[in-house]
Homo-oligomer: A and B are copies of this chain.
């Protein structure tokens, strides 16, 4: 895999979770294998590490095709002064991981995060396994390794198997294959995503609107009148401000182009609050199920 950004020295990428987490897998797939990674306990710590330059980039999940957007990470994007420098769509493939040499018929229990257990419910039932909740998927892989338990398996990424030296007994344990997570790369340095003519870009913004009927319609006119395509729109009520909303919009194009910067200036005329979260290369997803 070719690294997606040019690097003068080795990139250190912060992610939330234990080694072997899906976020770490996304970091390697997005930046290439020539990186170091920095596991963080919380999302907040991912933002903090990049801000304090302990890591040059952070990778966070922002939306999942089954579970929706992770609003918490949009909040953190507003609190910290980081920019989006890239996106990556990861197909969530829950694998059944066990100690090397163990056979499927020996397995009695399966450890994982409750959401992963729920997403694999039909296959867990079919195999007659008892589900055991853990704090995260990678942690459940570590548990199987540390406890040397031949009757336990973990549901986690293929990446976790290589981190903890476990074998993959089954792939695609999830009941619904349309299970994707979109990750964002965050950085203080946005040089890597300067505009060029040869690539497709996307821009993410967040803004609020006055509480008047039709205000969203008028806001969208700044894009429609310039033939700018929207790739995401989401409203979210603002806590403590009844009837006021935040809108998250992604649109096609780079903020460095005239047409996009004019649209943003136009939107600024009516939006009480507007923040550009970043312009970055669109991830072209070559999976069978394409999200966008």
Binding site for B on A (CB under 8 A): 42, 63-72, 113-114, 117-118, 121, 131, 133-136, 178, 213-214, 216-218, 220-221, 223-224, 227-230, 232-237, 239-243, 245, 288-292
Contacts and interface: CB of A to CB of B under 8 A. Distances in A.
Contacts of A72: 66-67
Given A178-B240, A216-B224, 4 more contacts: A67-B71, A133-B135, A240-B288, A240-B289
Nearest to A242: B290
B71 A70 contact: no
A232 B232 contact: no
B233 A223 contact: no
B234 A234 contact: yes
Contact of A224 (B113, B217, B290): B217
Contacts of A291: 237, 239, 242
Most buried by B among A42, A114, A242, A288: A114
A102 to B, nearest CB: 23
A178 B239 contact: yes
A42 B68 CA distance: 18
B133 A242 contact: no
B233 A224 contact: no
Nearest 4 Cβ contacts at the A-B interface: A178-B239, A217-B224, A68-B68, A242-B290
Contacts of A64: 71
A234 B233 contact: yes
Contacts of A65: 71, 236-237, 239
B242 A227 contact: no
Contacts of A68: 63, 67-71
Nearest to A41: B121
Contact of A235 (B67, B217, B234, B240): B234
28 contacts: A63-B68, A65-B236, A65-B239, A66-B71, A67-B68, A67-B71, A68-B68, A68-B69, A68-B70, A68-B71, A69-B69, A178-B239, A213-B227, A213-B229, A214-B224, A216-B220, A217-B220, A217-B224, A218-B224, A230-B235, A233-B235, A234-B235, A237-B292, A239-B291, A240-B288, A242-B292, A243-B292, A245-B292
Contacts of A117: 135
Contacts of A240: 178, 288-290
Contacts of A236: 65
